[in-house]
Amino acid sequence: ILEILVRVVVEDMADNHGDQASSLWAKIQELLGRVTSCHSTDAEIWPHYTLLYGDGQSIRPGDNEKALHFLSKAHRCEVQASGWEKDSGTFKEVIRRAIDLAYVTLSCSKKKSNPQEALQMLSSTLIVFLYTVSPQQLHTYVATGEIHGDLSDDVKELEQLITELQDQS
């Protein structure tokens, strides 16, 4: 239900009376605040909050930093769940979210006027990624040492983004 409500507000859909849903932004923000305060370890909630704040693509830098914070929370919740690294589907979801996190981190850090703040942002994300990429050996073919095909592109993209994050820091 949260996903639908957020999408309706973000896409500014009209209701049956022609009223735009963007007028409900503050109410959805309040609702998400209440839900996340009760279910702060539910990784599925945080991406909705991220989307509400522009998914890291807002013209308002403050919104992008909030989106980055929410993506970080979602990622942290995912990797704290037991066994996430063993299931290839869950591992792929974690890698995809990490890729989104990397792009938003790079975008936010480039807009920082204070180099120390940018460095802190990049470093924090890099530390998170060290734990994320390390279980990839669980998803490799023993004979070749290569990552399973359905994960290969995502892992390579994340590794490239990690290199870019390291270069920026």
Span 107-119, pLDDT tens digits: 999 999 999 999 9
From the number of C-beta atoms within 10 Å of its C-beta (0-12, 13-18, 19+), residue 7 rates as middle
Answer whether 98's CB lies under 8 Å from 129's CB. Answer: yes
Is residue 69 scored above 80 in pLDDT? yes
Structural domain harbouring 121: 39-168
Report residue 147 as tokens.
């990552």
Q: Is residue 20 part of a domain?
A: no
Q: Is residue 10 part of a domain?
A: no
Q: Is residue 49 part of a domain?
A: yes
How many structural domains does the chain have? 1
Q: Is residue 23 part of a domain?
A: no
- In the chain, % of residues over pLDDT 90: 54
Q: What letters, b where the CB count within 10 A reaches 16 and e where it falls short, cover 138-156?
A: ebeeeeeeebeeebeebbe
Is residue 102 scored above 70 in pLDDT? yes
Is residue 50 scored above 90 in pLDDT? yes
Q: Is residue 31 part of a domain?
A: no
Query: With bands split at pLDDT 50, 70 and 90, how would you rate the model's confidence at 122?
Result: very high
Mean pLDDT of 80-109: 90
Query: With bands split at pLDDT 50, 70 and 90, how would you rate the model's confidence at 137?
Result: low
d(CA 144, CA 96): 24
d(CA 6, CA 29): 9
More confident of the two residues 146 and 94: 94
Q: Is residue 63 part of a domain?
A: yes
Taking every pair of Cα atoms in the chain, the longest distance, rounded to a whole number of angstroms, is 62
pTM, two decimal places: 0.83
